[in-house]
């Protein structure tokens, strides 16, 4: 029996998803386990896989099947899947094979070098590799922009956040900038009046790992389909059936690794609960990077730093590290809700966090649109950090523009997802609280079942079936609004 056009497409995308699975695990291994000497060969292998999948995806036959499938009788889910297939095909078809390979190789090279360049504060060495990544990213942005009739940055933004534009971002972030600096100043001033006791280490890595695993268990992580490891920069990777999360440990500091794990567990629970009934299909994938970040920030900030959850976690901390004045309940909660502007985005409190994101968004957009060059980044970074947070990064590249790996692989257009994610998370938590009047009491009892059922029903089970706008409207009754994020910050910190 002859296959329909749609069936030919689903078979092709199942094959592509299997290659993506292998690439994802090879990338995780590169970040977490691979010895340094394997870098070049692994980079070449991953580039080869990128080229292979690009060839399969951009085959003319795929375009013909899409045109044919559009005329076939499909149900709602199949129609949504076809929309996503067409989007993947069109995105890939804009890029020549040579550019796909060059970008993959340059990204692997830049990330691997960053691991030693960052501890050595070696901006000179890092910027040489970054220049090549930026050059190739600009080529990609130019090709995409010409095809779509939009700005170069918007063309890259669309990869991560479909239908989002820098004009809409400017409005959302402009609103944020109108009230966040004042809120930050007031929250900081309020907290200055209270002396807090810092937790006293050392906190052995092995015991921190045990605590992280305990938190993952509390939060419903499926250990039969995932694991926790160590990397230079925390991340969540793998596939829904095999989710890999990582953190990094500092024996003098207890909470950054723990909340890194809680953050990545939010990503992992989303992945582990994506729909399984459409294997290998784009409709099965996470909706967008901002929705993905909304889940990690929902876990880390909305839930994880709530007084009810912190209180629930405290006995596990005392059991492993012993009692000390810093773990007196009031002090411990205040310590984990303190607002203290710092250099590092992944360690930032949720009030100052958006500053790190808006700063990067403004720099990366100017970089891709050709308004600035790589050499201009450190001075701009310092200027914006001083304006937002009163901190100087002059000469301190390690804690400034070299602090993480997002730009090493050309992931320009991703950064706005973090603050969009924080906004979505606040809106979702507000809606969940309205739907679940007992939520606070449940959290205090360590019972998250109703909350996770709500997330499963409203976000997780839908994958990419709906647009981001439709998904959030279905879940909360309205499209994205920054007002819930503001209300949340004011309630918790003022």
Residue 264 is among the residues annotated as catalytic for this protein: yes
Q: Which residues pair with 246 in a beta bridge?
A: 229
97 is in an annotated binding site: no
Which residue among 140, 264, 300, 350 is the active-site one? 264
356 is in an annotated binding site: no
430 is in an annotated binding site: no
Q: Which residues are catalytic?
A: 264
Binding-site members are 263, 267, 293
Binding-site members for Zn(2+) are 263, 267, 293
């Amino acid at each position: 029996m002859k296959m329909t056009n749609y069936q030919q497409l689903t078979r092709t995308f199942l094959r592509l998803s299997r290659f993506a699975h292998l690439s994802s695990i090879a990338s995780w291994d590169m970040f977490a386990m691979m010895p340094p000497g394997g870098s070049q060969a692994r980079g070449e292998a991953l580039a080869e896989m990128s080229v292979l999948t690009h060839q399969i995806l951009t085959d003319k036959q795929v375009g013909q099947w899409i045109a044919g499938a559009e005329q076939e009788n499909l149900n709602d889910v199949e129609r949504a899947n076809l929309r996503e297939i067409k989007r993947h095909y069109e995105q890939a078809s804009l890029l020549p094979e040579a550019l796909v390979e060059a970008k993959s190789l340059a990204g692997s090279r830049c990330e691997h070098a960053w691991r030693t360049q960052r501890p050595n504060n070696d901006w000179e060495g890092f910027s040489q590799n970054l220049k090549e990544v930026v050059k190739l990213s600009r080529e990609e942005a130019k090709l995409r922009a010409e095809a779509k009739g939009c700005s170069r940055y918007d063309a890259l933004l669309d990869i991560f956040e479909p239908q989002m534009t820098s004009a809409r971002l400017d409005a959302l972030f402009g609103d944020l900038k109108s009230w966040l600096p004042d809120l930050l100043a007031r929250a900081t001033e309020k907290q200055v009046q209270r002396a807090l006791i810092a937790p006293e280490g050392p906190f052995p890595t092995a015991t921190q790992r045990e605590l992280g695993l305990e938190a993952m268990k509390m939060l419903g992580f499926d250990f039969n389909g995932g694991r926790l490891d160590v990397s230079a920069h925390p991340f969540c990777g793998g596939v829904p059936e095999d989710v890999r999360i990582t953190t990094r440990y500092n024996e003098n500091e207890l909470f950054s690794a723990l909340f890194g794990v809680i953050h990545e567990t939010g990503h992992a629970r989303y992945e582990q609960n994506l729909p399984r009934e459409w294997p290998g299909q784009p409709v099965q994938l996470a909706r967008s990077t901002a929705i993905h970040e909304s889940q990690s920030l929902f876990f880390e900030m909305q839930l994880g730093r709530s007084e009810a959850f912190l209180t629930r976690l405290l006995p596990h901390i005392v059991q492993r590290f012993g009692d000390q004045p810093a773990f007196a309940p009031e002090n411990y909660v205040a310590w984990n809700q303190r607002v203290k502007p710092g250099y590092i985005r992944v360690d930032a409190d949720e009030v100052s966090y958006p500053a790190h994101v808006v700063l990067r968004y403004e720099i990366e957009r100017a970089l891709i649109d050709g308004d600035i060059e790589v050499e201009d980044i450190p001075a701009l970074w310092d200027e914006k950090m001083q304006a937002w947070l009163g901190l100087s990064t002059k000469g301190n590249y390690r804690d400034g523009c070299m602090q993480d790996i997002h730009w090493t692989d050309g992931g320009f257009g991703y950064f706005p997802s973090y603050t969009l994610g924080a906004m979505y998370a606040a809106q979702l938590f507000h809606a969940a609280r309205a739907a679940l009047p007992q939520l606070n009491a449940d959290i205090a009892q360590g019972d998250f079942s109703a909350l996770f059922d709500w997330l499963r029903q409203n976000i997780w089970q839908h994958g990419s079936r709906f647009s981001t706008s439709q998904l959030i409207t279905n879940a909360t009754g309205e499209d994205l609004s920054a007002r819930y994020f503001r209300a949340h910050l004011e309630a918790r910190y003022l």
